[in-house]
Amino acid sequence: MENNEEILLRVEHLCQYFKMGAGRELKAVDDVSFNIKKGEVFGLVGESGCGKTTTGRSIIKLYDITSGSVYFKDQRICAGARSYKIAIKEAQKAYRAELGELKKQCAEELKSAGDREGTLEKYRKLREDAAARCGKIVAENRKQKAAAIHDQKYCDRDHAQRVVAALKQEREEALAACKSEEERKACAKEYKTKLHIASRERIVNRIQMIFQDPIASLNPRMTVRDIIAEGLIIHGIKDKDYIDQKVYNILEKVGLVREHAGRYPHEFSGGQRQRIGIARAVIMEPDLIIADEPVSALDVSIQAQVINLLNDLRAELGITVLFIAHDLSVIKYFSDRIGVMYFGKMVELAPADELFDHPLHPYTKSLLSAIPLPDPMYEKQRKRIVYNPLAEHDYSVDQPSMREIVPGHFIYCNDAEFAKYKAELGAE
């Protein structure tokens, strides 16, 4: 869906369903696809309950996804098997239906056919062809299902094995370049530590999350130092002095001081707690940060400080951000591209300026009409647009899909709506 710039995260047909008992399911995320380019901020916006937080938690593997795939640095880190199971059942069902139809046709032809053996041979070949088609579909989907289950369970192990193999090759080259026995011993010791850390490497460690509620996401029994350093310790780093220095550096980077390292979360304000959460994420030097409404629980003045901090860290460290929020003014300020979600579906996706200048989907227009501005004259004339999906869309015959209306601007619509949106946008 994007241009040739490097794609860091690719989400394809992500579905996350939750069981509700009595055979019912809640489709929290339903067939969502998007890409995030390296170095950009991708905003995910929508009202409460639309599935944006669930999308973020599914990407970081806090949930096992129902179906679809998530690729990080071109490696599949999340995979659901349901779509393949459904495809297998549908192929077998279609085969049984086709077999029944062939039996009826064969019986009718046998009543009037003079060449009984020829008729039976004809239908035997038709049944064999149908069985071969069904078998091919079933075999392919079983293969895909097995690959999905493997990637879901063992992507971290496979990643660690690749990292260790590359590091061993690097070690052999480094040892070959050593000129003395002392250099070889020092080199071997250095790579022993690196290999220990690499064996514990997990690709999902390259993705970190900042949670919405800063106090609920911090362990009240752990000091700030222990909270921030926990990821490093789990990662296999044992050097206490190195850990302490990393913690002090990251505390200063997020606007705190090293004296805060010995305190507990309840001793801080909401904004300071969120800075601790950011420090905990950033210390792992991730490639992607999922910020789940990181400012919604904070005062407006503190919100600005936290957003500016994230902007500074993004510029300094080159971090890619998936920014989840329901505040469109914050999203516009911070994001390069924005995806709008409604009821588990992605309904519109566009660059930030394009989305605000030319909103097309009725739900996007409804969200934008709800943004208040500090202008009394504007507020007197502002009209709220109410979104009623039953009145706005007729999908009884023509089913919708995600379509690109102009380069980079995607919208969830059917054929009739696509023509209407093109006319509205003045696109040919």
Instruction: Walk along the chain (428 residues) and give the pLDDT tens digit of each residue.
Output: 444 478 999 999 999 999 987 788 999 999 999 999 998 999 999 988 899 999 999 999 999 999 999 999 999 999 999 999 999 999 999 999 999 999 988 888 887 766 778 888 888 999 999 999 999 999 999 999 999 999 999 998 888 888 889 888 888 888 888 888 888 888 888 888 888 888 888 888 889 999 888 888 899 999 999 999 998 888 888 889 999 999 999 999 888 998 999 999 999 988 889 899 999 999 988 999 999 988 877 777 788 888 888 888 888 888 899 999 887 878 888 899 999 999 999 999 999 999 999 999 999 999 888 888 787 887 888 888 889 888 888 888 889 999 999 999 999 999 999 999 998 887 55
Q: Which residue has the tokens 């926990």?
A: 230
DSSP 260: G
Cα–Cα dist 156/177, whole Å: 32
- Give pairs for 230-233: CB < 8 Å, separation 24+: 230/280, 231/205, 231/280, 231/283, 231/284, 232/283, 232/284
124 and 57 fall within a common domain:
no
User: 201: which 2 tokens?
Assistant: 């490497």
339 and 392 fall within a common domain:
yes
DSSP 12: E
User: Backbone phi, then psi, for 184, in 5-degree steps?
Assistant: -65, -40
Q: Which of 260, 144, 155 is nearest to 207 (CA)?
A: 155
User: 278: which 2 tokens?
Assistant: 């950011």
Residue 136: inside a domain: yes
The CA distances from residue 256 to 274, 277, 306, in Å, are 11, 12, 12
Residue 374: inside a domain: yes
Residue 340: inside a domain: yes
110 and 34 fall within a common domain:
no
The CA distances from residue 91 to 97, 103, 141, in Å, are 10, 18, 10
User: Structural domain tally of the chain?
Assistant: 2
106 and 141 fall within a common domain:
yes
**Residue range(s) defining the domain that contains residue 413:** 1-73+322-428
CATH number assigned to the domain comprising residue 374: 3.40.50.300
Cα–Cα dist 198/362, whole Å: 49
69 and 145 fall within a common domain:
no
User: 171: which 2 tokens?
Assistant: 């070690």
Q: Which residue has the tokens 């296999």?
A: 236
Contact of 5 with 37, CB cutoff 8 Å: yes
Residue at a domain's end among 201, 216, 246: 201
Q: Model-level pTM?
A: 0.87
